[in-house]
Amino acid sequence: MRNSLLAICWGALGVIAPVHATSITAPEPASGWQAKPAVQTQRFMAVTAHPLATRTAVDVLSSGGTAVDAAVAAQMVLNLVEPQSSGIGGGAFMLYWNAATRQLHTLDGRETAPAAADANYFLDTNGAPLKWRKAMVGGRAVGVPGTLHLLHTAHSLFGKKPWAELFKPGITLATEGFNVSPRLAQSIASAADRGLLKFAATREYFFTASGEPIAVGFTLKNQLFANTLRQISQEGITSFYQGPIALRLLKALENTSALPALMTTEDLAGYRTILRPPVCAPYRNYSVCGMGPPSSGALTVGQILALVERFDLPRLGPSPQSIHLILEASRLAFADRARYMADIDFVPVPVVGLLDSDYLSERSRMIHVDSSIGKASAGIPPGVLSANATVYQSEPAGTSHLSIVDALGNIVSMTTTIESGFGSRLMTDGFLLNNELTDFSFIKEREGLPVANRVEGGKRPRSSMAPTIVFDSHGEPILVTGSPGGSRIICYVAQSLVGVLDWGMSPQQAVSMPHFCNRNGKTDLEPAETTASVDLALQAIGHQTRVRDLNSGLHLIQILPGGQLISGVDPRREGLAAGD
């Protein structure tokens, strides 16, 4: 019955190539629909955003490397072939499942604000908040990078292969060059008038001598990055955080923004990866685990799932009615996110209270099957220690996600970013620097109440990255997922989980279905042949809707009871699944 109902309802939503809207420009443009085959393997698998990164990871896994080893090597390659999305100039969150000890570890490599930063960091000389598009370009936006420190920490704990060996594929690729892909070429062209031409290093790397964006198929080499990787591979991360690379990084920030960058040598030298407790939310017979604050991902995804758990989504299938219920749950969860979630080392985030079953049961009663809540207000979860203002803010759709399972059953789910496409537009030593500090609130208070995600020295900005591992009732991992997409990451991940866990979809079906998202405002719908009918049904019960590109990059691995691995590769990007 369930499968036949799914087939009927599925036609209403449509597993088809979206008809991309052009009225709204995304920070990182959609690059066309590329149908992806489902891949099934027996021993190990890697799913990343680019074929060269996936093949690098598979080579590491084939030669006995762990999932962490594969992630290190793949990230260095992504830094080259997908520089607009992630790299060692940015930050990341990693989930690592240690199959031998049966422990889940969550590593926080989020960027930090300089120690000298305060709540007025993004106010202009007149005391007014900067416009986001002005703040995002240049040194003021750059946080202390954490990705490299996270990878080094993870490798020291869970790696097997020599550190230097993992850098060889990236060094070779940077030296010999690679062919620019359609997605990279399109991203460069799209960012030309959004600051990418402003600074000499990015202008010389991404554009021809005549100022034209480099084209598809161009052989792009990066000798500066090859030199950087050689130094890090031989000397470890000290040169990056305390040595010559650090000094050149600081130099690259100077005189690049109206307000000066405040980062110092002490800020770089003092960066640390933080091992935080996982945040796990029960959902039906599963446990959905992810990264806690400063990420809002696991908490908000967990809330959405808990809020819809009382409804029979398996019976409803992916219909307009079930979409409505998920959207309403998302409104409620995003309202709590906007008020309470921030860096837990600076703000008392009520983590337990936000996932409290009684609290969420009460909040769920606000969801009605035949009408929309409209704008939802934040609740008052148990354990709230301070009154915070509710603030919604821009969060661009850059970022990348890797899902990896090795031959021993170890798992990496890592979401990695430099924030918006091409970050701050600043390059040093061959890599781009993030503009992650714009993920902070630009205002420190509203109506006399402090904003939880305000800027503070040493603080990590709130993130929506949601690397996720799902466990069954026996504690066995069954699903690895995550996505780029700004604050819509939360919607994409929650939708992929419902697709697999409730609607019986394969991973590839789950990542391919048209997206829907509500962040406590308008309902976003991805353009597809059948979007119009869903749109009308939602409008009829009170949703304000807009149809626009929703550029995810979901990468799923489903682990079957017999150990087989099945992939889901987002057709909106150029990713690849492979393994053995």
pLDDT value for 308? 98
Mean of the pLDDT values across residues 497-502? 98
Mean pLDDT of the residues in the chain = 93
Across 77-99, b (16+ Cβ under 10 Å) vs e yields bbbbbbbbbbbbbbbbbbbbbbb
pLDDT of 15 > 90? The answer is no
Strand order in the sheet with 523-525: 516-518, 523-525, 545-547
Rounded to an integer, what distance in angstroms lies between the CA atom of residue 216 and that of residue 501?
39
Assigned token pair, 66? 């762990």
208: buried, middle or exposed (CB in 10 Å: 19+, 13-18, 0-12)?
exposed
Rounded to an integer, what distance in angstroms lies between the CA atom of residue 392 and that of residue 242?
36
Nearest-5° angle of CA 466, CA 232, CA 73? Answer: 45
pLDDT value for 388? 82
Confidence category of residue 396, pLDDT binned at 50, 70, 90: low
The catalytically annotated residue of 56, 202, 399, 481 is 399
pLDDT value for 10? 31
Confidence category of residue 33, pLDDT binned at 50, 70, 90: confident
Cα distances (Å, whole numbers) of residue 388 to 444, 463, 577:
10, 18, 43
pLDDT of 26 > 60? The answer is no
Identify whether 399 is a catalytic site residue. Answer: yes
Percentage of residues of the chain with pLDDT beyond 90: 90
Confidence category of residue 394, pLDDT binned at 50, 70, 90: low
132 compared with 559, residue with greater pLDDT:
559
Rounded to an integer, what distance in angstroms lies between the CA atom of residue 484 and that of residue 511?
12
Q: Tell me: the pLDDT tens digits for 401-452?
A: 999 999 999 999 999 999 989 999 999 999 999 999 999 999 999 989 999 9
Rounded to an integer, what distance in angstroms lies between the CA atom of residue 580 and that of residue 441?
45
pLDDT value for 31? 57
Assigned token pair, 529? 């042949």
Mean of the pLDDT values across residues 487-508? 98
Lowest mean pLDDT among 16-25, 96-105, 237-246, 509-518: 16-25
pLDDT of 117 > 50? The answer is yes
Mean of the pLDDT values across residues 95-106? 98
Confidence category of residue 16, pLDDT binned at 50, 70, 90: very low
Lowest mean pLDDT among 73-77, 160-164, 191-195, 246-250: 191-195
26 compared with 351, residue with greater pLDDT:
351
40 Cα distance to chain centroid: 25
How is the chain split into domains, by residue range? Answer: 1-16+106-374+414-466+486-505+533-561
Mean of the pLDDT values across residues 302-318? 97
Q: Tell me: the pLDDT tens digits for 531-578?
A: 999 999 999 999 999 999 999 999 999 999 999 999 999 999 999 999
pLDDT value for 447? 87
pLDDT of 21 > 50? The answer is no
Rounded to an integer, what distance in angstroms lies between the CA atom of residue 358 and that of residue 361?
5
137 compared with 9, residue with greater pLDDT:
137
